[in-house]
Amino acid sequence: MMFRLAHLSDPHLGPLPNPTLLELASKRAIGYLNWQRNRASKFTSEYLDGLVADLKAQEPDHIALTGDLVNIAIDAELGPARRWLDKLGPAHDVSVAPGNHDAYVPGALRRASEAWAPYMRGDDDHIPGAYPYVRRRDDVALVGVSSARASAPFFATGHVSTEQAKLLCQKLKALGRDGVFRVVMIHHPPVRGSTDWYKRLIAGSRVRAAILQGGAELVLHGHTHIDSLHWLKGPVGPVPVVGVPAASNAPGGKKPGARYNLFKIERAGNDWRCYWRERGFQKPGEGIVEIRERDLSAEMLAAAE
Ligand SMILES: [Fe+2]
Ligand SMILES: [Fe+2]
């Protein structure tokens, strides 16, 4: 078996439609001004379109998208985001974990989960918005966790309930008994100190405990808009935690340009091999380049020492 999994995150799809006055009467007013000031110029579909075209040319078996599809989660953003998802790929082959911008104000996550339902539910679930959800594709299990919750103005924190963390642990254990390659998708990095305090995952220890007890082969996240590799403790060894830059970010700024990850997962005896490639925009005026290629299994052995 060889499975190719693509990972992208944080497209922050633009342009931002005009919110209604009622919609602006909330945290969204700040988000709207923030978009006008920062994102409108840096987050352009030019890079996103190029990135998606390059990703599709790689013909991955599955695409994991770790949240922040939209900006302030107004109704006028949800429909276009759904159409963008439909163009990205069939719901069978695209799995989404929601981000804090998809849950910008109370009630937003429920509407987003309905609008994007086919991309955010497990093989056996018929209720959108039930997390964690599990999808099995060949020998790979995609586990969608929601860390998205409306937060106070100037905060971008994430949250996973004790109930969800408990279910996550149970499902990871069961999948472990089936011997599949477990991929956990979560918007906020479940790693202590990996983000600023105002945008951290609150009670991230719950997620770390679920992974330590339940086990996972790979954790994918977004939110930080930078490329990163951290390790979490697993039941048998270290678990790689991989972050990816925002999928529509222009190159040449403070944060890395638009990028995606491509994982090649294959069985090796009783174990797994996982190779990781990063492709994206590095310099203004240049096309997409191969940025890095790594043998994640070898790095895992090194991290275990
Ligand atoms: Fe984001
Ligand atoms: Fe985020």
Q: Ligand 2 centroid vs 247 CA: distance in angstroms?
A: 12
Ligand nearest to the CA of 13: 1
Question: What distance in Å separates the CA atoms of residue 246 and residue 222, rounded to the nearest whole number?
Answer: 7
Cα distances from 37 to residues 31, 250, 258, in angstroms, run 10, 15, 19
Q: How many residues does the chain have?
A: 305
Q: Ligand 2 centroid vs 189 CA: distance in angstroms?
A: 10
Q: Which residues pair with 277 in a beta bridge?
A: 262, 293
pLDDT in the model for residue 243 = 98
Q: Which two tokens stand for residue 162?
A: 């004790």
pLDDT in the model for residue 173 = 98
Q: Ligand 1 centroid vs 12 CA: distance in angstroms?
A: 7
Report the relative pairing of strands 133-137 and 140-144 from DSSP bridges. antiparallel
pLDDT in the model for residue 224 = 97
Could you tell me the fold of the domain covering 2-304? Answer: Purple Acid Phosphatase; chain A, domain 2 (3.60.21)
Q: Ligand 2 centroid vs 138 CA: distance in angstroms?
A: 30
Q: Ligand 1 centroid vs 187 CA: distance in angstroms?
A: 9
pLDDT in the model for residue 290 = 98
Q: Ligand 1 centroid vs 286 CA: distance in angstroms?
A: 24
Q: Ligand 2 centroid vs 260 CA: distance in angstroms?
A: 16
pLDDT in the model for residue 292 = 97
Question: What distance in Å separates the CA atoms of residue 206 and residue 218, rounded to the nearest whole number?
Answer: 17
Ligand nearest to the CA of 100: 2
Q: Which two tokens stand for residue 272?
A: 């797994």
pLDDT in the model for residue 244 = 98
Percent of the chain, pLDDT > 90?
78
Do 191 and 200 contact (CB within 8 A), yes or no? Answer: no
CB burial class (10 A; 0-12, 13-18, 19+) of residue 118? middle
Q: Ligand 1 centroid vs 304 CA: distance in angstroms?
A: 31
Helix (H, G, I), strand (E, B) or coil at 283: coil
pLDDT in the model for residue 44 = 67
Do 144 and 96 contact (CB within 8 A), yes or no? Answer: yes
pLDDT in the model for residue 42 = 65
Q: Ligand 2 centroid vs 305 CA: distance in angstroms?
A: 33
pLDDT in the model for residue 126 = 66
**pTM of the entire structure?**
0.95
Do 274 and 255 contact (CB within 8 A), yes or no? Answer: no
What is the full per-residue pLDDT of the chain (305 aa) written as tens digits? 899 999 999 999 988 888 887 788 788 888 888 887 777 666 668 899 999 999 999 999 999 999 999 999 899 999 999 999 999 999 999 999 999 999 988 899 999 999 999 999 999 876 766 899 999 999 999 999 999 988 888 889 999 999 999 999 999 999 999 999 999 999 999 999 999 988 999 999 999 999 999 999 999 999 999 999 999 999 999 999 999 999 999 999 999 999 999 999 999 988 999 999 999 999 998 999 999 999 999 999 999 88
Question: What distance in Å separates the CA atoms of residue 80 and residue 75, rounded to the nearest whole number?
Answer: 10
pLDDT in the model for residue 160 = 95
How is the chain split into domains, by residue range?
2-304
Residue 268: how many other CB atoms lie within 10 Å = 9
